[in-house]
Amino acid sequence: DAKTTQPTSMDCAEGRAANLPCNHSTISGNEYVYWYRQIHSQGPQYIIHGLKNNETNEMASLIITEDRKSSTLILPHATLRDTAVYYCIVRFGSYNTDKLIFGTGTRLQVFP
């Protein structure tokens, strides 16, 4: 699985959009970008995933660049409950037959 690079930490004001970047320059053609988050003292939670098209669900939007070497997770209206560590993961397949390989993620702090 390709390696990802994320900023260690970010801040965001409540109600504003949180844009979390991820670099995955060695991604291969059949690897997907997944995002999970981990709120303090809880297990990780799936957010969204995509291959090359932008994706949106009730939690977030995922923007993948045309060359697929980077992506951005967007939380459109961040709330205090979005304070968490966000993990960008690249892996084969659109269904989860395999383990997740986590990096150290981005610690997002949403402030009032």
Least CB distance from residue 103 to another protein, whole Å?
A: 6
The 3-class SS string of 37-103 reads: EECCCCCCEEEEEECCCCEECCCCEEEECCCCCEEEEEECCCCHHHCEEEEEEEEECCCCCCCCCCC
Please say which residue, 51 or 63, places its beta carbon nearer to another protein: 51
Please say which residue, 49 or 68, places its beta carbon nearer to another protein: 49
Please say which residue, 30 or 67, places its beta carbon nearer to another protein: 30
Task: Enumerate binding residues for another protein (CB under 8 A).
Answer: 34, 41-46, 49, 85, 87, 94-97, 99-105
